[in-house]
Amino acid sequence: MVAGEEADVDGVDQLYELEPGQFVAARDRLARALRAAGDREAATAVRGLRRPTLVAWALNQVARARAEEVAELIDAGAAVGRAQAQAMGGGASTELRAATRRRRELTSTLARAAADLAGANHHDEAVATLDAASLDPEVAELLRRGRLTRALPPPSGFGMAAMPEPAQEPALEPKAADASVAHEPPDVGLEPLRRDLDRAEEAVAGAEALVAGAEEAVAGAEDQVRRAEEALAEARTGLHAAGAELDGAVAHRERARAALEEAESGRRRG
């Protein structure tokens, strides 16, 4: 396995729901229980399970809580691969841009959810692991089941995965020129240009996703500013009311003091 070991035993899924610091003790308890029940093979498999890192644990929780979006991400990765293959064959790049944009949107959303659990400093690890899951079926299955044990880099050649090399046409014997047919330049040197265009289109889609994420961040910050302004206005209203109450209390104190002094003065005169 790339990112973790499998053990199809009751109780294993619950292990991956625990925080990393609780994993080892719970794993060992489960292994002991299995051994006591006479299932030595399952006990050995469970004992060999590795504790997830913090970011892997966070992604496992996200996978459980947002299973539909994880499934969409995996489907989007497959769609990118198909669209890349079509584009390499001379097909339209519209589908490639749409599939790439959708994959990046889902990656961004799920990575932010994982970073909310693991900490913002783990955001890039989450992105790389989600990218790997979107293109690697083995990692995708681990993510889907919530059994990742560590963060992963994106697959080598990321961004051009699932793109077959263009088929090589067999060499043909040269034919005599037909003077009745206008000469057309051979279609040579276009494949590198198409590949370069594909890369540029995916880069544009990625930049568009970054812009979308930045716009979302701006909207969130603006919402925070709005709430802060509302809180400030409310605090100012409270301050004004408290100031008025203080003025009233001070005036009452002065009247009480004057009344006391007058009473004491009257008693001395009497």
Give the global pTM: 0.57
Residue 227 lies in a domain: yes
Which residue from 118, 120, 265, 96 is spatially nearest to 197, judged by alpha carbons? 96
Residue 54 lies in a domain: no
Cα–Cα distance measured from residue 31 to residue 54, given in angstroms and rounded to the nearest whole number:
23
Residue 208 lies in a domain: yes
Residue 219 lies in a domain: yes
Q: Which domain holds residue 235?
A: 200-270
Domain count, the chain: 1
| Range of weakest confidence among 23-37, 112-126, 157-171, 183-197 | 157-171
The distance of Cα 138 from the centroid of its chain, to the nearest Å, equals 19
Residue 256 lies in a domain: yes
For residue 189, the model assigns a pLDDT of: 60
- Mean pLDDT (the chain, rounded): 79
For residue 220, the model assigns a pLDDT of: 61
- pLDDT (tens digit per residue) in 198-253: 667 667 656 655 665 565 566 667 667 777 887 788 888 888 888 888 988 888 99
pLDDT band at 123 (very low <50, low <70, confident <90, very high): very high
The distance of Cα 158 from the centroid of its chain, to the nearest Å, equals 17
Residue 265 lies in a domain: yes
DSSP 136: -
Residue 102 lies in a domain: no
Average confidence (pLDDT) over 71-77: 94
- pLDDT (tens digit per residue) in 135-189: 899 999 999 999 999 999 876 655 443 333 333 434 444 444 444 444 444 445 6
Neighbours of 72 (CB within 10 A): 19
